Amino acid sequence: MILGIGTDLANIERIQGTLDRFGDRFKNRVFTDTEQAKAERRRDTAGTYAKRWAAKEACSKALGTGLAMGIAWKDMSVTNLPTGQPVMHVTGWAKDRLDQMTPAGHVAIIHVTLTDDHPWAQAFVVIEANPL
């Protein structure tokens, strides 16, 4: 059963401008230490940040809240499996919201996909509930 779907498109050049203007202040407000470490290791640092920005926006939409209802940027984070597959993690208010959405006797699974084609980065998030 699908609980929520979200998508977002981020402009890589806009994210680069924000990184140039606000640097660590922006990174520390929006991205976890793990996300920052991943982005800083990549040749396309801004593109990596843009994909994760888009994933957070898409996740908040899939949760049915957007970012206006109390979810903090760092309540959603993207890591990668050894295969490279992106994985979305939620904590704090985002986790509380996910728990509220998930029917009794089910477990929620968050699927995320990331892509970029300069100057755009895009993310899709689908939240599904599977019976235990």
Domain containing residue 8: CATH number: 3.90.470.20
Report how far residue 121's alpha carbon sits from residue 116's, in angstroms, rounded to the nearest whole number.
4
C-alpha closest to that of 51 among 105, 109, 12: 12
C-alpha closest to that of 7 among 129, 121, 130: 121
**Enclosing domain of residue 63:** 2-131
98-107 pLDDT per residue, tens: 999 999 999 9
Q: What is the mean pLDDT of residues 120-130?
A: 97
Residue 41 and residue 80 in contact, taking contact as beta carbons nearer than 8 Å = no
| End-to-end Cα distance, the chain | 13
Q: For the chain, give the percent of residues with pLDDT over 70.
A: 96
46-105 pLDDT per residue, tens: 999 999 999 999 999 999 886 666 678 999 999 999 999 999 999 999 999 999 999 999
Average pLDDT of the chain?
94
Residue 125 and residue 74 in contact, taking contact as beta carbons nearer than 8 Å = no
pLDDT computed for residue 81 by the predictor: 96
Split into its structural domains, the chain has a count of 1
Residue 126 has pLDDT above 90, yes or no: yes
Annotated binding site for Mg(2+): 8, 57
Q: What is the mean pLDDT of residues 19-27?
A: 96
pLDDT computed for residue 123 by the predictor: 98
Sign of the dihedral through C-alpha 80, 89, 10, 43: negative
C-alpha closest to that of 39 among 80, 72, 81, 97: 80
5-17 pLDDT per residue, tens: 999 999 999 999 9
Q: How many CB atoms lie within 10 A of CB 26?
A: 16
Annotated binding site: 8, 57
